[in-house]
Amino acid sequence: MGITMAEMKETTNIRKENKMGTMPIKRLLISMSLPMMISMMVQALYNVVDSIYVAQLSENALTGVTLAFPMQNLMIAVGSGTAVGINAMLSQSLGEKQFEHANKSANTGLLLAFFNFILFLLIGLFGAHAFIATQTSDPEILSYGSTYLTICCCLSFGVFCQITGERLLQSTGRTIYSMITQLTGAIINIILDPILIFGLLGFPRMGIAGAAAATVIGQIVAGAMSLVFNMKRNPDIVLSFHSFLHPKAWVVKRIYMVGVPSILMIAIGSVMTFLMNLILSVFETTATAVFGVYFKLQSFFFMPIFGLNNGLVPILAYNYGAKRKDRIDEALRTALIGAVSFMLIGTLIFWLLPEALLFLFNASDRMLFLGVPALRIISLGFPLAGACIIMSSVFQAFSESIYSLFVSAGRQMLVLIPVAWLLSRTGNVNMVWIAFPVAEGMSLLLSIIFFRKVYRKRVLEW
């Protein structure tokens, strides 16, 4: 029996227009971003709580975790960068109504997440101790750092599954489920931290290993939940074992055309923290601990902006596919105002309450002496960083992530590290912190130049 044109049209319209093409922009941006901002605030909270408990063990334990951070950040870089490529392809495919391409990107993305885990399993087994040893010769710090990093790498399948699954939910507008998975993982981590570190409720005292175990258990639970939500509550994509085992080369290529620049952009942060640890270690281990504390505290303000960015990218990608310039412009304007305003609040808090923030980490008098000026100086660049993060969403959404890489590389490797090294030659560790706002200023300048180029090419020339 033949199919009439009316029946074909009805079949085509079974999938309703996604809310990213119809909902008012301000409400859409809030609905897409607020759950992720909240969940990332909780993520930031558990990172801080983790370090607060570790600091109760000793300052050397805190320093060991700080030295492990560059490799942990590299892990996040590989997972998040791959997910950015998946996100961009999936959202744009949905905007263009190419649903089969959206399914291919989702299933291929999960397979890539598995390969990412295998890579870091090998690093955990054979490279964790050597990596920490490049940054310290103190046997206690070396023991703390290598123990923590080995556990995080060898059980990293949870974090890769979590990142990929949550980005699939975000790409299709199901941010409430993404928020639930992140909140659950973070809450589990926060609860388990004191139990496993200090041996409460009948559990053995695991020390630094307990902090790592709490982290990976939370990630594994969150990753499992994200997969269940995608299979049961995400009708825009279909996950299948057959598609998972039979990836298409062109899909992998398209994902990594966007994903590789994003991976490199975040990975540059790992190189930056590694080199900064080396610069600060010339002064004293307390300076390195202060740097670690700063990184934990700044996540309270940067993580929500990254949540805003994650909510903005699929909106821009979808409306780019649908050729809706008006919605793109309004989303960018709204996000930019929100990001800069929020980061100004962060600067104010760092200037007014530095001692209170440092006391959370059992700060010694020496740590206070070094930490107060550090927090105040570095936070001057927060508003500039907020604007840069929002502009980078355009590069990600329009498959021009190479510009994000240029901005990140320029800020961290061409300005931050060289300026920090030069200022360290003064013999005054407080001078090193000035490199941070200087680097953010250069980053803003590059972001504006590249933003105007991409916007003109992708939007104005339709």
Percent of residues in the chain assigned helix, strand, coil, to nearest 5: 85, 0, 15
Taking the C-alpha atoms of residue 271 and residue 424, their distance in angstroms, rounded to an integer, is: 18
Taking alpha carbons only, the member of 171, 168, 166 closest to residue 225 is 166
88 within 8 A of 399, measured Cβ to Cβ:
yes
Domain residue ranges of the chain, discontinuous segments joined by +: 23-460
Whole-number pLDDT of residue 265 = 74
Rounded distance between C-alpha atoms, residue 181 and residue 200, angstroms: 26
> 59-95 vs 208-233: helix axis angle to the nearest 10?
10
How far, in Å, CA of 90 to CA of 94, rounded? 6
- pLDDT reported for residue 380: 96
The kind and range of the H/E element at 85 are: helix 59-95
Residue 325 in tokens? 């310039």
| pLDDT beneath 50: ranges in the chain | 1-15
Q: Which of 267, 282, 265, 410 is nearest to 291 (CA)?
A: 282
pLDDT of residue 16: 53
Q: Which residue has the tokens 């992140």?
A: 182
CB within 8 Å of 241: residues ≥ 6 apart? none
Tokens for 38?
Answer: 């909240």
As given in the structure block, the two tokens for residue 225 are 């939940």
Question: What own/partner pairs with CB < 8 Å and gap ≥ 24 does 231-237 have?
Answer: 233/174, 233/177, 234/168, 234/169, 234/172, 234/174, 234/177, 236/15, 236/18, 236/94, 236/99, 236/102, 236/172, 236/173, 237/90, 237/102, 237/103, 237/106, 237/168, 237/172
Alpha-carbon span 443 to 435, nearest angstrom: 12
What amino acid occupies position 178? Answer: S
Residue type at 448 in one-letter notation = I
Output the pLDDT for position 264.
Answer: 81
Is the Cβ–Cβ distance between 219 and 184 less than 8 Å?
no
pLDDT at 88: 77
pTM of the model: 0.78
- Give residue 6's pLDDT: 45
Residue 219, pLDDT score? 94
For 200, left (φ over 0), alpha (ψ -120 to 50), or beta? beta
CB 206, CB 197: distance < 8 Å: yes
CA atoms within 13 A on the CB side of 368: 10
Cα distance between residue 239 and residue 437, in whole Å: 44
Tokens of 209: 């290993």
